[in-house]
Amino acid sequence: MNNCDVRATWKYHDDTKHSPWSVRNNPHFLDFANRPLPFKLYPTIEPRPLPRDLPQTGVTALSAIAEPARPSRTEAVPDLHDVARILYFSAGITKQRAYPGGEIYFRAAACTGALYEIELYLVTSDLPGLDGGVYHFNPADVSLRLLRGGDFRGNLAQAAAMEPAVAHSPVTIICTGTYWRNAWKYQARTYRHFGWDNGTLLANMLAVSAASGLPAKIVLGFVDAEVNRLLDLETRREVSLCLVPIGCVPGSPPAPREAPALGLEAIPLSQHEVEYPAMLQMHDASSLETEEEVRQWRERHSAITSFAPVGEEIRLLPLSEEEQPNDTIEQVILRRGSTRTFDKAASITLSQLSTILDCATRGVPADFLEPPGSQLNDLYLIVHSVQGLRPGAYFFQRDRNTLEVLKPGDFRAVAYHLGLEQELPADACVAIFFLAELEQILEQYGNRGYRAVQLEAGVIGGRMYLAAYAQRLGSTGLTFFDDDVTAFFSPHAKGKTAIFLLAIGKPLKGKAH
């Protein structure tokens, strides 16, 4: 069983670290003539258009983010409008802009390089307005394409070793990652981006499912080859990353059906593609091979130790429900975008920051996060300008709802450096770094723990984006110099691994977003 040999993760992780040296000495350049298509297109399958005029949920963004849509035993079956809402507000096109290199279609969730390498598929029973089948979602024409007709939920339930949420869901969304679409720019580091970009998309998906009154859960425990086969994926190019069962029905799923290879034609993404073996190896090493392995994997719980604070603590003061802005989740997703320039002279309040931290960290419903509410990533902050907080470095004590002071000081120059020498984390009001005890995580989950920790970071980061935009603040994800992040937050962060970075502040007036 490959998954247990975690040397594969350390090799991939160490080889894809950014350092000032590695960034300066990378000869890679962007070949715009070979830029990949942003969509997966099946030229031979007729589209089945989804409704575009969707009833609004009326649910406020902050409550939809904070209220994890946990699986329940109550029957809940989405109709075609619910399915269309969830797909559109997770991966749909929300803005379009002309650039010298062509048109960019911006989507509902943030994504590294706006390259949108995450595809969505549905495995569904008959729903009101939609026949059972395996479908691909194409955001370009807001439609589904039927890959297999009939109810294949039994195949998924079997691949997930009868995980209860999958076994009882009327429909499951499968997220896949397409290597080349992102590796065109980011090369082998794309495997980390799979987790981040899938995560931000899932933050939207969980929030919109919750707002639609539908339980949803992220499932990472499944036999990879079986799910890939069901979707007819060419696995050197595209692989399944997670399942998201939505809704709940009583009874058992149907028996698995024959799912022969389809060999469906898809339009090539580029004239030529470059394969990065490091990513194929990382994926292979973190794959689960049998139902038994899935079952054993799922029994491993996330007992990540937390440490009592030693420094001074500042209590967080989230806005009460009455004080919270009441824009709906749909409105906030439509106006979200990554801030391109922050106003260095601006500040945010402690309540605004507290609300973001609180909403984003109430627990991600996932099969790898047991008991519910546990979290793999720790949050470290560099505060530049938050009213009520001295500038400095802090650690978020999630269980205590406090910020522990690590070191006071003006660290704008440090944030500039850590965020790959970009102005964004220096000019924002706060930069939030995600670090994790990767050694412990790999010990518990094997190589698949690497997928889990990146994905969880993306979900929490995606929620932070939404919680910031709900309060009319700005935000952006960022990349970072791995080891320098750990060094800066040490000794507290000694031994931890940098996973993700997000900056929050106020957009400079007159600039986009």
Ligand X SMILES: Cc1cc2nc3c(=O)[nH]c(=O)nc-3n(C[C@H](O)[C@H](O)[C@H](O)COP(=O)(O)O)c2cc1C
The window from 58-66, 107-115, 210-218, 299-307 that contacts ligand X (CB under 6 A) reads 107-115
Among 110, 285, 389, 405, binds ligand X (CB under 6 A): 110
Residue 200 binds ligand X (CB under 6 A)? yes
Residue 208 binds ligand X (CB under 6 A)? no
Q: Do the bridges between strand 348-349 and strand 386-387 make them parallel or antiparallel, or are there none, so unpaired?
A: parallel
User: How many Å is the maximal CA-CA distance in the chain?
Assistant: 63
Instruction: Name the residue nearer to ligand X (CB basis): 269 or 333.
Output: 333
Buried b (16+ CB within 10 A) or exposed e, 111-123: bbeebbbbbbbbb
The window from 130-138, 356-364, 417-425, 432-440 that contacts ligand X (CB under 6 A) reads 417-425
Residue 477 binds ligand X (CB under 6 A)? yes
Residue 422 binds ligand X (CB under 6 A)? yes
Residue 225 binds ligand X (CB under 6 A)? no
Residue 307: CB partners within 8 Å, gap ≥ 6?
none
Q: Which of residues 368-387 bind ligand X (CB under 6 A)?
A: none
Encoded one letter per residue, x for contact with ligand X by CB under 6 A and - for no contact, window 424-443 reads: x-------------------
Query: Using DSSP, how many helices (H) and how many strands (E) does the chain show?
Result: 18, 17
Residue 106 binds ligand X (CB under 6 A)? yes
The window from 3-11, 45-53, 104-112, 388-396 that contacts ligand X (CB under 6 A) reads 104-112
Shortest distance (Å) from residue 18 CB to ligand X: 10
Shortest distance (Å) from residue 388 CB to ligand X: 28
C-alpha distances in angstroms, 290 versus 225, 236, 294, 392? 9, 20, 6, 48
Q: Do the bridges between strand 392-397 and strand 402-408 make them parallel or antiparallel, or are there none, so unpaired?
A: antiparallel
Residue 114 binds ligand X (CB under 6 A)? yes
- What is the phi/psi pair of residue 53, to 5°? -95, 90
Among 338, 354, 355, 444, binds ligand X (CB under 6 A): 338
Tell me the two tokens of residue 471.
Answer: 């309060």
Residue 175: CB partners within 8 Å, gap ≥ 6?
118, 119, 120, 198, 201, 202, 240, 241, 242, 243, 244
The window from 14-22, 83-91, 201-209, 420-428 that contacts ligand X (CB under 6 A) reads 420-428
CB burial class (10 A; 0-12, 13-18, 19+) of residue 49? Answer: exposed
The window from 409-417, 426-434, 437-445, 474-482 that contacts ligand X (CB under 6 A) reads 474-482
Residue 370: CB partners within 8 Å, gap ≥ 6?
301, 302
Among 397, 479, 486, 497, binds ligand X (CB under 6 A): 479
Q: Would you tell me which residues interact with ligand X (CB under 6 A)?
A: 106, 110-114, 196, 200, 337-338, 420, 422, 424, 476-479
